[in-house]
Amino acid sequence: MQQTPMQQTPIVEIRNVSFGYDPARPVLRDIDLAIPRGAVVGIMGQSGCGKTTLLRIIMGAYLPSSGEARVLGHATRELDAAGLYEMRRKMGMLFQFGALFTDMSLYDNVAFPLREHARLPEELEHDLVLLKLQAVGLRGAAHLMPTELSGGMARRVALARSIALDPQLILYDEPFTGLDPISFGVIVRLIRSLNDSLGATSVIVTHDVQEALDVVDYVYFMAAGRVIAQGTPDEIRASPEPFVNQFVNGRPDGPVPFHYPAPEYAADLEVAAA
């Protein structure tokens, strides 16, 4: 699945997008990216660099202050509420902590999008829900409530729910946060296998770089609201860009300094004068 983004019409196209809650302090500046059909693309960067905001632009929750976001063939700016909902039916989203409905069993959680959007005969709905739960390995847990699950299991159920309507585009918001190594491995494997078996396209927003680099086809690296590097995982690992290098290798000091800006240490301790 190694592709460069230019080979075909991309499923998500972000052109010159800037965005800020307050125009004086933009969160995103001149972002350009393209996500090709079928790929698993990572958007990486430090906390607060604008990754999640970019994800919200892709899902149409925010409109760019300038520039254009084209998702699944629609410019999000031109969609009304109904059009936006229509577009989102073709998208799945995995939230950071799953966001399962706590008052429903796992079965009902996965059945929720089907019941809301597709009037299916009960038997067909039943089969579909079990099929999705089987894909994430939790068919046997269908009757449990979300509060009875571990974090990793909750995220797998949420993944089953987000693919219930066979989306063309799956968005992952920090899917690896707070998982033990086993759950972690399961989620990484599921992201890849679901993407390929559904013929979907996936966008992963994360700062778990090493693990994510193993699963993605292409990476956009963000810092301070800009894309500062992009490439295949191997290109990113070998990147000469000092910030990317520090980030990928987890070095404590570098372009992002270890010390918060402060006056001279000696002066602060009042030993300089002595």
Partner 1 sequence: MEVAWLRRRLERLGSTVTSQVWRLGYASRFLAYLVMHSGTALRRFRLTVAEVYFAGVLSLVIIMVSGLFVGMVLALQGYETLQRFGASESLGVLVALSLVRELGPVVAGLLFASRAGSAITAEIGLMKATEQISAMEMMAVDPIARVVAPRFWGGVISMPLLAALFSAAGIFGGYLVGVQLIGLDAGAFW
Give residues in contact with partner 1 (CB under 8 A): 59, 61, 85-86, 88-89, 91-93, 95-97, 99-103, 112-113, 116-117, 158, 161
Nearer to partner 1, 2 or 147 (CB): 147
Angle at the Cα of 226 (from 205 to 172), degrees rounded to 5? Answer: 10
Least CB distance from residue 260 to partner 1, whole Å? 30
Nearer to partner 1, 116 or 127 (CB): 116
Nearer to partner 1, 74 or 237 (CB): 74
Least CB distance from residue 96 to partner 1, whole Å? 7
Least CB distance from residue 52 to partner 1, whole Å? 11
Least CB distance from residue 59 to partner 1, whole Å? 6
Nearer to partner 1, 86 or 196 (CB): 86
Nearer to partner 1, 109 or 239 (CB): 109
Question: Going by C-beta distance under 8 Å and a sequence separation of 6 or more, which residues neighbour residue 2?
Answer: 217, 232
What CA–CA distance (Å, rounded) separates 162 from 93?
6
CB 151 within 8 A of CB 74: no
Helix, strand, coil shares, percent, the chain, to 5: 40, 25, 40
Least CB distance from residue 77 to partner 1, whole Å? 18
What CA–CA distance (Å, rounded) separates 162 from 65?
28
What CA–CA distance (Å, rounded) separates 84 from 90?
10
CB 92 within 8 A of CB 163: yes
What CA–CA distance (Å, rounded) separates 87 from 78?
12
